[in-house]
Amino acid sequence: MIAKFETRCMLCVRKAIHEKFCEYHFEALQSLRDHYQVWKNSYGAITWYDYLTRLQEIKYTGKWVKDVIEIELRNVKNE
């Protein structure tokens, strides 16, 4: 018998569907990316790092979005 391993989300145990995220964390990532342009239009020259940091501090930012923000901030710091 051949064991089949499914890729799991890097943030939870759900099945990963895209970019190593489950459907919920991937949707959060897409939302972050989509709304970044809105923030740039409103705040002027805001970096991806500053955008993520500000969102992380807002108490109304959802858990899945905050999970993705943590990963994205690590990626920015490692660049």
Which pLDDT score, from 0 to 100, does residue 11 have? 93
Give the residue with greater pLDDT, 20 vs 77: 20
Mean pLDDT of 51-56: 96
Mean predicted confidence (pLDDT) in 33-44: 92
pLDDT recorded at residue 2: 62
pLDDT tens digits, 61-74: 999 999 999 999 99
Is residue 60 helix, strand or coil?
coil
Distance, in Å, from the CA atom of 22 to the CA atom of 11, rounded to the nearest integer, reads 8
- Residues 16-21 have a mean pLDDT of 89
Please check the confidence at residue 8 and state whether its pLDDT lies above 70. Answer: yes
Per-domain residue ranges of the chain: 23-78
Three-state DSSP at 72 gives: helix
